[in-house]
Amino acid sequence: DAPEVDLLDRATHTIIQQVEAMKQMVNAFSEYARTPTMEITRFDLNALITEVSELYAHQEKPLAIKLSLAADLPAINADAGRLRQVLHNLLRNAIEALEPQADARVEIATRYVDGADAGLAEVTVTDNGPGFSSDIVEQAFDPYVTSKPKGTGLGLAIVKKIMEDHGGALTLDDGPAHARVAARLAITGPRSGCSQRVTDASSIPVVEFA
């Protein structure tokens, strides 16, 4: 009968959704628990950021991204694959936070920072969402801490672990109308003068922030 068919369809859909959610959580936990083999290479951090950003400009709901990258930022020695994962996790986190908003915007910026023992490359990812809930902001990087219905609570925990594996650091700047995560990595090699510029990438929707 039609009512039973409808009930079966809804129940099946619910089961599929829950199985997929469990699968994502298991995969995320496995990724968090796994001790990776680091493959350190020397590469251009700005180029990696631009490449990852372009992927989000061509999805079903394109994300407006502004890139403000430091010109002549020295190349870094790191695992490019793991840092790519950091960027994906931070962008996905921003997308989930911005889901209800029509004017969703994200800014990714890089800059050179003078450290106590070495120069540092800093990457910040800022969105114009509601920010982190006040009750979880202190534990935002802890496993299984999330305020999002679809979140597993492992995205930022994985980011923190990858940064720690690189000897880097993470900071969180939470405001009433934004959330900003900053990641810092040590630079090995000479610095050749650093200034700010906005990347001109025609395939990426550029939105100026107020």
Beta-strand ranges (E) seen in the chain are: 41-43, 64-71, 76-78, 105-114, 119-127, 169-175, 178-186, 195-198
CA distance 25 to 202: 36
Question: What pLDDT sits at residue 177?
Answer: 62
Conformational region of residue 80, where left means phi above 0, alpha means psi within -120 to 50, and beta covers everything else: alpha
Mean pLDDT across the stretch 160-188?
82
Determine the 3-state secondary structure of 140 from DSSP.
Answer: coil
Query: Over the stretch 29-46, which tens digit does the pLDDT of each residue have?
Result: 666 566 567 888 999 999
Residues ≥6 apart with Cβ < 8 Å to 154: 25, 28, 29, 31, 32, 143, 144
What integer best gives the mean pLDDT of the chain?
75
Q: Which residue has the higher pLDDT, 112 or 155?
A: 112
DSSP assigned state of 73:
P
* Strand, coil or helix: 44: coil
* pLDDT digits 0-9 by tens, 42-88: 999 999 999 888 887 766 666 788 999 999 899 999 999 889 989 98
pLDDT at res. 10: 83
Q: What is the reported pTM?
A: 0.69
Greatest extent of the chain over all pairs of C-alpha atoms, in Å: 74
User: Cα(first)–Cα(last) distance of the chain, in Å?
Assistant: 57
CB-based contacts of 71, cutoff 8 Å, min separation 6: 194, 195, 196, 197
pLDDT tens digits along 128-165: 877 665 555 555 555 555 555 555 556 688 888 888 88
- Which residue is it, tokens 């672990």? 161
Q: What is the tens place of the pLDDT at every residue in 102-111?
A: 777 889 999 9
**Is residue 156 within 8 Å of 181, Cβ to Cβ?**
yes
